[in-house]
């Protein structure tokens, strides 16, 4: 892994002065990913928070080659660009080695863009696709997605007399990508930046399709204070709600094990989207969530 000194000598692909929300963790994620690359980058980005707030016409916060895509086709676009690159390099028209990264939120990866993502992985393109998972459609009004945890309140699964927030458990997109039997799959968090950087470095050196799912706490949708984003990410890891692991050529490895696994309530109680779960009639949902986290963690440990 590159040293901190080496990382600081590299230029981030994302400049300051963008219009992401105060306290947003997406810029941290993007900067860590770009600093981890020693290669020139071509980035595609699905419509969403990251794209909308960094490329408001006629301005852009991106310093690398950047392509804005529709909500559903970030993976399709970057796979097409990678194919063109291979053809031009074969003809000798491009000499430099370039890396290709496709970004999308959970809306653009878990849901609307799942077909394009699956297709790019199955075809075997030499790309890294990154989901910045803030667990809802934050850019368009905090609507629930298939990444939204059970019990979370959103504008389309509001907690009230009819339903206690979202009724379904979240989708395991990382597991779905692993089922494609691609060379590399990983989960990461901005709270554990060294782990994140190391995984990006590894992914960029592996030929073929790679996927990383990175938790992106959202101050607006999760309803926490703007200076608590990294704390939320850390609690997600320490409670094993968001375990850090990688799957390289089918082999699972847990890359961080909490010294003392925290109870999920420590993660939940700090977020306004779960405030209704404090009511006696809804407390059973916390127990269900805890059991789901425990089950998933034990299963991951067995696989590793």
Residue 233, pLDDT > 90, answer yes
Q: In this model, does residue 84 exceed pLDDT 90? A: yes
Mean pLDDT score, 73-99: 97
Which pLDDT band, with edges at 50, 70 and 90, does 1 fall under? Answer: confident
The pLDDT of residue 61 is above 90: yes
pLDDT at 5 over 90: no
Whether residue 248 is predicted with pLDDT greater than 90 in this model: the reply is yes
Q: Is the pLDDT of residue 298 over 90?
A: yes
Where does the pLDDT of residue 4 fall: very low under 50, low under 70, confident under 90, or very high at 90 and above? Answer: confident
What domains can be seen in the chain, in order of their start residue? Answer: 4-303 (3.40.50.970)
The pairs formed by 34-37 with CB atoms below 8 angstroms and a separation of 24 or more are 34/10, 34/64, 35/7, 35/10, 35/197, 36/2, 36/7, 36/196, 36/197, 36/198, 36/200, 36/201, 36/204, 37/10, 37/99, 37/200, 37/201, 37/204
Residue 3 has pLDDT above 90, yes or no: no
| Residue 276, both tokens | 């209704």
pLDDT class of 37 with cuts at 50, 70, 90: very high
Q: What is the torsion angle, in degrees rounded to the nearest 10, for the CA atoms of residue 178, residue 180, residue 185 and residue 186?
A: -40
pLDDT, tens digit, 9 for 90 and up, residues 258-282? 999 999 999 999 999 999 999 999 9
How many other C-beta atoms can be found within 10 angstroms of the C-beta atom of residue 183? Answer: 17
Peptide bond into 123 cis (omega under 30): no
Q: How confident is the model at residue 2 (pLDDT cuts 50, 70, 90)?
A: confident
Q: Is the pTM of this model over 0.95?
A: yes
pLDDT tier for residue 205 given thresholds of 50, 70 and 90: very high
**Separation CA 263–CA 105 (nearest Å):** 27
Helix (H, G, I), strand (E, B) or coil at 94: coil
**Taking residues 27-47, what's their average pLDDT?**
97
Predicted confidence band of residue 74 (pLDDT cuts 50, 70, 90):
very high
In the predicted model, what is the mean pLDDT of residues 195-221?
98
Given this model, what pLDDT does residue 154 score?
A: 98
Percent of the chain with pLDDT over 90: 96
Residues 6+ apart with CB under 8 A from 302: none
Mean pLDDT over the full length of the chain: 97
According to the model, what pLDDT value does residue 44 have? 97
Token output for 278: 């404090």
Distance CA 120, CA 270 (A): 37
Under the banding of pLDDT at 50, 70 and 90, the label for residue 70 is: very high
């Amino acid at each position: 892994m590159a040293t901190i000194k080496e990382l600081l000598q590299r230029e981030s692909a994302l400049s300051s002065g963008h219009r992401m929300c105060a306290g947003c963790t997406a810029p941290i994620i993007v900067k860590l990913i770009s600093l981890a690359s020693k290669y020139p980058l071509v980035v595609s980005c699905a419509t969403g928070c990251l794209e909308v707030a960094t490329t408001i016409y006629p301005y852009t916060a991106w310093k690398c080659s950047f392509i804005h895509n529709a909500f559903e086709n970030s993976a399709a676009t970057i796979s097409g660009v990678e194919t063109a690159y291979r053809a031009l390099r074969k003809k000798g028209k491009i000499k430099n080695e370039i890396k290709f990264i496709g970004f999308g939120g959970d809306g653009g990866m878990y849901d609307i863009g799942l077909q394009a993502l699956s297709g790019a992985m199955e075809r075997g393109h030499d790309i890294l696709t990154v989901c910045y998972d803030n667990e809802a459609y934050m850019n368009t009004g905090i609507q629930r997605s298939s990444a939204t945890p059970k019990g979370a309140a959103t504008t389309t699964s509001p907690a009230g007399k009819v339903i206690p927030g979202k009724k379904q458990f979240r989708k395991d997109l990382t597991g779905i990508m692993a089922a494609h039997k691609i060379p590399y799959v990983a989960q990461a968090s901005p709270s554990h930046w060294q782990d994140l950087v190391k995984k990006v470095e590894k992914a960029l050196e592996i030929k073929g399709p790679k996927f990383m799912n990175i938790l992106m706490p959202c101050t607006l949708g999760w309803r926490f204070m703007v200076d608590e984003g990294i704390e939320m990410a850390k609690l997600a890891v320490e409670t094993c709600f968001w375990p850090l692991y990688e799957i390289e050529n089918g082999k699972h490895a847990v890359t961080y094990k909490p010294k003392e696994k925290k109870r999920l309530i420590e993660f939940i109680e700090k977020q306004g989207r779960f405030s209704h779960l404090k009511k006696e009639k809804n407390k059973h949902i916390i127990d269900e969530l805890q059991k789901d986290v425990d089950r998933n963690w034990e299963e991951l440990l067995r696989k590793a």
